[in-house]
């Protein structure tokens, strides 16, 4: 009987890719995107690629690019070398048993394992999960210059060329009244047919949220994302019940355990799923199942990953039955260069799932080495 291929090497590289403009969030302003690219090579010659990406160093969460590389090199790689490359469940179980937390790192590793197995079997990652329901996913754009007129001008241009018809605004770094005036002005300028979502990035307390969500709701804003601190689950449930504008849990719904608690108390009428938060595609699928059973809508979130992470997310999101709020997988469009030879296709307000085995993308290793942190 032929022996299954074994894992030969697990490499983690930190790369810094330039962005088209500064990207302003409530907790940081990004001037570039830093990602950890995972390369897993097996004895059958197959190479799988994954990506672990966070925002703003450690301002978003406890993992940084440097800590992710260290975790792969020192803790995860020794667990994988020499093991059966085809049994992803066993490999991830072993990692979860020996490495606590570190969901961003685990997402990149799991993606590389899935990419390898898809290539090995000649099927896409989506097919490993039963197949895509939609091969084209709606994708919004974040207006993050912080300047009202500039944001309106940018949005109108993107609407005119039919690249986006839904926009997200990141607020929370200013005094609430100033932020809300900014949002309302943009909504009025773009009109009622253009969907506007607001991400407060946990910046408000529950009292402030009650005052200002009312104003946003009255002015036709379509979705309110994570207005309060992620640990206030009951507060999210109270806001969900209090307003008719949908409240979305983002940072609050990271793990499967978070999702279970929020489903029980209806802490949010929409969940933002991000494979970095969940620790990979398998857990993302589990949370999607819980949300569906609880009549909670889904939104395909991003950590502004590059092409590898965005494509991995797109594969699993394409299998969801209740992706009623589309996706925000625009990360690659923020970059001035890429490390893949076949970039994602964004057309008519949607992204197209790449065809081909595994993730369906090819990495340009010369470009990877060019942008690799020395």
* Token digits of residue 296: 């909670």
Look up residue 360 and give its DSSP letter.
S
Domain check: are 168 and 220 in the same one? yes
Residue range 309-367, pLDDT digits in tens: 999 999 999 999 999 999 999 999 999 999 999 999 999 999 999 999 999 999 999 99
Domain check: are 219 and 137 in the same one? yes
Contact 280, 110 (CB under 8 A): yes
pLDDT for the residue numbered 24: 59
pLDDT for the residue numbered 268: 98
In a domain, 321, yes or no: yes
pLDDT exceeding 70 applies to what percent of the chain?
Answer: 97
Domain check: are 115 and 156 in the same one? no
Sign of CA dihedral 138, 245, 319, 47: positive
pLDDT for the residue numbered 29: 60
Q: Closest Cα to residue 173, out of 330, 59, 20?
A: 59
Residue range 145-179, pLDDT digits in tens: 889 999 999 999 999 999 999 999 999 989 999 99
In a domain, 260, yes or no: yes
pLDDT for the residue numbered 121: 98
* CA separation for the pair 71, 107 (Å, rounded): 13
* Token digits of residue 337: 């260069």
CA 97 → CA 12, 75, 90, 91, 373, distances in Å? Answer: 21, 12, 11, 10, 30
Residue range 15-56, pLDDT digits in tens: 999 888 665 555 556 668 999 999 999 999 999 999 999 987
Domain count, the chain: 2
pLDDT for the residue numbered 161: 96
Longest Cα separation, the chain: 69
Q: Indicate the length of the chain as a whole number.
A: 374
Residue range 290-299, pLDDT digits in tens: 999 999 999 9
Domain check: are 105 and 177 in the same one? no
* Token digits of residue 95: 């990692």
Which residues are the active-site residues? 170
pLDDT for the residue numbered 303: 94
CA 316 → CA 41, 46, 109, 154, 293, distances in Å? Answer: 23, 22, 15, 30, 18
pLDDT for the residue numbered 32: 80
With a CB cutoff of 8 Å and minimum separation 6, the contacts of 97 are none
* CA separation for the pair 49, 202 (Å, rounded): 32
Task: Please give the helix or strand (H or E) that residue 23 lies within, else none.
Answer: strand 7-24
Q: Which residue has the higher pLDDT, 258 or 21?
A: 258
Domain check: are 292 and 177 in the same one? yes
Domain check: are 280 and 179 in the same one? yes
Domain check: are 151 and 107 in the same one? no
Residue 269 backbone zone (phi > 0: left; psi -120 to 50: alpha; other: beta): alpha
In a domain, 30, yes or no: yes
Residue range 53-90, pLDDT digits in tens: 998 777 778 999 999 999 999 999 999 999 999 999 99
- Say yes or no to pLDDT of 205 above 80: yes
Q: Closest Cα to residue 33, out of 313, 253, 306?
A: 306
pLDDT for the residue numbered 192: 92
pLDDT for the residue numbered 91: 98
In a domain, 359, yes or no: no
């Amino acid at each position: 009987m032929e022996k299954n291929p074994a894992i030969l090497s697990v490499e983690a590289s930190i790369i810094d890719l330039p962005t088209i403009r500064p990207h302003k969030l409530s907790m940081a302003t990004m001037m570039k995107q830093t990602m950890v690219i995972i390369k897993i090579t097996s004895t059958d010659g197959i190479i799988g690629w994954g990506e672990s990406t966070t925002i703003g160093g450690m301002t978003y969460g406890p993992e940084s690019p440097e800590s992710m590389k260290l975790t792969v090199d020192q803790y995860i790689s020794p667990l994988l070398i020499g093991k059966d490359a085809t049994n992803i469940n066993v490999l991830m179980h072993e990692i979860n048993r020996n490495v606590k937390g570190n969901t961003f790192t685990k997402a990149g590793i799991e993606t590389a394992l899935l990419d390898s197995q898809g290539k090995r079997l000649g099927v896409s990652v989506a097919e490993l999960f039963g197949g895509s329901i939609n091969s084209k996913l709606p994708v919004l754009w974040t207006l993050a210059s912080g300047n009202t007129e500039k944001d309106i001008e940018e949005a109108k241009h993107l609407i005119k060329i039919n690249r986006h018809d839904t926009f997200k605004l990141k607020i929370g770094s200013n005094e609430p009244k100033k932020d809300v005036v900014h949002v309302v002005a943009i909504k009025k300028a773009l009109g009622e047919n253009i969907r506007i979502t607001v991400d407060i990035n946990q910046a408000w307390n529950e009292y402030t949220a009650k005052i200002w969500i009312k104003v946003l709701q009255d002015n036709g804003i379509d979705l309110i994302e994570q207005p309060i601190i992620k640990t206030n689950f009951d507060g999210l449930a109270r806001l969900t019940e209090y307003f008719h504008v949908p409240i979305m849990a983002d940072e609050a719904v990271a793990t499967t355990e978070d999702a279970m608690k929020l489903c029980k108390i209806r802490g949010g009428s929409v969940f933002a799923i991000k494979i970095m938060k969940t620790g990979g595609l398998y857990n993302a699928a589990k949370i999607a199942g819980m949300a569906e059973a609880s009549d909670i809508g889904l939104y395909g979130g991003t950590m502004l990953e590059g092409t590898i992470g965005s494509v991995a997310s797109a594969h699993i999101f394409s299998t969801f039955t209740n992706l009623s709020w589309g996706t925000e997988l625009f990360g690659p469009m923020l970059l001035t260069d890429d490390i893949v030879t076949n970039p994602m296709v964004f057309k008519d307000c949607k992204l197209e799932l790449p065809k081909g085995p595994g993730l369906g993308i090819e990495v340009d290793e010369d470009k990877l080495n060019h942008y690799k942190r020395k």
